[in-house]
Amino acid sequence: MRATLGKDRTHGGYLLTKAKGFQDAGYADRNSMFADNVDTNLFDFYEFAASAAGKVCVEAEGYEYVDLGTSPWPRAVFALNFPVSGLPASLTEGITAGRIPNKVRVGPTSRPRGLEAALEAARFAPGKISRGMRLEIARRGTAAPSAALEVRRLSSVEDFEAFARIVSRNLFEVREDELNEDSYAYAGLLGLLDGDRAFGFLCLEGGKPASTAYAFVDSSGIGGIYFVATEADGRGRGCASAAVSAALEELARMGVEECILHATEPGLPVYKRLGFSELCLLPIYSLPTGT
């Protein structure tokens, strides 16, 4: 659900590019527009996730965040649009008080430009940096087939729970004993089986769940790949490639033409083999504990 009415984030997206051209959409070049799509797909995904889990997506003074209750699943401040004069006091106060997630995502749509300097001046420290990547799905690569691997779309409680645990352990470093009802409420979107907008895949190696991938289609028709995670003993064996390839195949079947994702360093070789190209850096900033 939304705490306040949302705003159109699509910037026309890829659909406008085909109809009118990137210059009519206000961009200097195609890559600038495609980079913005990396952000807007994620923002739409956060809002979809909040609604699916019955949580609140809060629109505050120049930023938004998802209120996940006590969930250890990922939290983030996003859609940054701060005044040029500096950061809103409500952000640092809310993070310090524990009301707002201590994870501020900076990307190509963040305003003002050079926001990283303002965050660092307010004692925020940079953390993990991911890379925004894009793929024209018709030009996708394919994963090498393996008789030992089986990929299936989430369709049972058992598959969903295996998916959630792999993502928890390997992507978000959540311990088994930290999983709670809020964890599964937020992750409930993974089990929605919404064939029009969201669907997940589980790759099994020798019958054992090994890797995950999840696809989401935003309001402008652009696909996004999320929740790609692999168990430690399944890495380097083609499991992630197989799961992502299955998600891309489904997006292609649906007629989706463009796909974005946020890549961490270990996943770069996998995504490049599948045809994704880098567009932008996506740093995350946090206030040091005790600030």
Extended beta strands in 51-103, E state? 56-59, 64-67, 77-78
Q: Is residue 28 part of a domain?
A: yes
Q: How many CB atoms lie within 10 A of CB 235?
A: 15
Q: Tell which of 116, 131, 146 closes a domain.
A: 131
Contact 283, 153 (CB under 8 A): no
DSSP element (H, E) containing 264:
none
The upper half-sphere exposure of residue 8, i.e. CA atoms within 13 Å in the direction of its Cβ, equals 5
pTM, two decimal places = 0.84
Q: What is the CATH number of the domain that holds 264?
A: 3.40.630.30
Q: Whole-angstrom Cα distance, residue 59 to residue 55?
A: 13
Contacts of 102 (CB under 8 A, 6+ apart): 75, 95, 286, 287
Q: Whole-angstrom Cα distance, residue 196 to residue 191?
A: 13
150 and 127 part of one domain: no
Task: Render each residue's pLDDT in the chain as its tens digit; 291 residues.
Answer: 222 223 444 333 333 333 334 334 443 456 677 888 999 999 888 888 777 767 778 888 899 997 766 665 657 899 999 877 778 999 999 999 988 989 999 999 888 888 888 899 999 999 989 999 999 999 999 888 788 999 999 888 788 888 888 888 888 777 666 666 555 555 554 545 556 788 899 999 999 999 999 999 999 999 999 999 999 988 989 999 999 999 999 999 999 999 999 999 889 999 999 999 999 999 999 999 765
Q: Tell which of 131, 146, 174 closes a domain.
A: 131
Number of structural domains (the chain) is 2
Q: Is residue 291 part of a domain?
A: no
Contact 222, 260 (CB under 8 A): yes
Q: Whole-angstrom Cα distance, residue 133 to residue 261?
A: 5
The upper half-sphere exposure of residue 145, i.e. CA atoms within 13 Å in the direction of its Cβ, equals 1
Question: Would you give the DSSP letter of residue 239?
Answer: H
